Amino acid sequence: MANILIIDDEDAFAAAMADWFGLEGHEAQVAPTLASARERLAEGTPDLVLLDLMLPDGSGLELFDHFESHTPARIIIITGHSGVKQLIGGVAGESVTFMKKPIEPREFEGLLNSLSTKETNRKASPEPTEQFGLLVGESSAMQEVYGNIRKVAPTDSAVLIHGESGTGKELVAQMLHRESGRQGRFIPVNCGGLNKDLVSSQLFGHEKGSFTGADAAHAGFFEQADNGTLFLDEITEMPMDMQVNLLRVLETGKVTRLGAQREKQVNARLVAATNRDPRQAVKDGLLREDLYFRLSVFPIALPPLRRRGDDIRLLAEWFLARLNEEQDASRCLSSDSLRRLSRHTWPGNVRELKHVIHRAWILAEDDVVTVPETLETGLDTPIEGVGVGRSIADVEKDLILSTLEHCDGNRKETAAMLGVSLKTLYNRLKAYEAESGEDLEEA
């Protein structure tokens, strides 16, 4: 049985087609407008879409933004105008074909049979996928993540993503947004980078004149994510008093700008993330317990790279392929490099692997990319480590500066690899600069 969506405002034609599909044992829905089509598509991706481009409230071409991330097996553009095919060509790829009215229902028989066969084969022998949108990996741990994303994405439920730094929490959040069918924006916010004095304004917005410097009204992150997804990374870095206000927005769906007299309804789906154990964060006073329960309706745990087996090799080759594509090259990893990659413990997870491959690619003198043996220490630059007479502060400084060098001065990557907030890293580096009088450049 195929799932079919007929997007056409010609009532007689749409009804007749829906009836015929029903008699043939398929499920068909009709959407006479662009708005109703979006509502149907938000409920799930059909196998077949019959699309009229001329709709009462806009052009059917506007739906192709949605189809980029939720592609039906077949899209048939139905038109009464013979020039449409020449006009738009293959704008949406190989899955798109054209039919000119009038159409006989029997013209769809062969297509429907092929769709039903594909669906039967898919159910009979599900195969692990190496890639799910922005995510790469075929391990059982990642297949479970993909399944959880598919289950929760179409709902309005809050999601809490937790995992070590560098495991891809923001990519999971982006995939939740893509699979949700929401038409609004994806707004990522690093809670560790919020200004303590302006956090309320940044999240909820403000009216003109509500405080010194408020020269114009400003929409906060919640309003910017209306009908979309708000991603709050490092949620445990948010001040506790602001977590109370966040909980209220989650419960009421309304925000109040600073200086405003009335609440404003917003439909922002919230996805939060942390590299800490959420329950431990509650015990440590970094996350309110009531907010934790509200966020963890559907938790998604991301596995560390060291527990993903052959995904290490798969990701390494995937990153290398992207670099080759960007630079029009054909480099490959040496067999020794692949063994080193597999033995490494990856404290920085996928982010560290990406950095290692990029660095090795740049340093390669020919078409064979070699990962250095020093990888097994976790850093390209050896550190002195703990020893008699060395203070903990010295060891910490050594580790931070070595990691900063490893990340080519990129402070955001350094903070993520060390498992600290960006604010904490900045404070440490400022102290080191004051000690030495040197400027630690940022990439």
Max avg pLDDT among 98-102, 218-222, 324-328: 324-328
CATH number of the domain to which 32 belongs:
3.40.50.2300
Q: What is the mean pLDDT of residues 74-101?
A: 59
Report the b/e string of 326-349 with b at 16+ CB within 10 A.
eeeeebbbeeebbebbeebebbbb
Of the residues 261, 285, 301, the one at which a domain ends: 301
Would you tell me how many other CB atoms lie within 10 Å of the CB of residue 212?
6
Beta carbons within 8 Å of 140's beta carbon, 6+ residues apart: 128
Mean pLDDT (whole number) for 407-428: 77
Mean pLDDT of all residues in 347-364: 91
Tokens 């196998």 correspond to what residue?
Answer: 47
| CATH number, position 283 | 3.40.50.300
The DSSP result for 212-233, as a single string, is TT--S-B--HHHHTTTSEEEEE
pLDDT band at 390 (very low <50, low <70, confident <90, very high): low
Residues 54, 159: one domain?
Answer: no
| Residue 395 pLDDT level (bands cut at 50, 70, 90) | low
Residues 283, 318 share a domain: no
Please give the model's pTM, rounded to 2 decimal places: 0.58
Q: Cα–Cα distance between 83 and 104 in angstroms, integer?
A: 20
Q: Which of 40-49, 163-172, 182-191, 382-391 has the lowest mean pLDDT?
A: 382-391
**Same domain, yes or no, for 385 and 318?**
yes
CA dihedral 226, 40, 131, 324 (to 10 degrees): -70
Structurally, the chain folds into a number of domains equal to: 3
Whether 92 maps to a domain, the answer reads yes
pLDDT > 90: percent of the chain: 25
Q: What CATH number is attached to the domain comprising 414?
A: 1.10.8.60
CB 358 within 8 A of CB 319: yes
Give me the domain span that covers residue 150. 131-301
Per-residue confidence (pLDDT) for residue 437, from 0 to 100: 67
**pLDDT given at position 146:** 93
Query: Rounded to whole angstroms, how far apart are CA atoms 210 and 111?
Result: 61
- Asked if residue 139 and residue 83 are part of one domain, the reply reads no
Stretch 350-359: mean pLDDT, rounded?
92
Q: Beta strands of 292-358 (E only): which ranges?
A: 298-301, 332-333
* Residue ending a domain, choose from 301, 316, 335: 301
User: Is the pLDDT score of 319 beyond 80?
Assistant: yes
Which of 123, 149, 168 lies at the terminal end of a domain, its last residue? 123
In a domain, 369, yes or no: yes
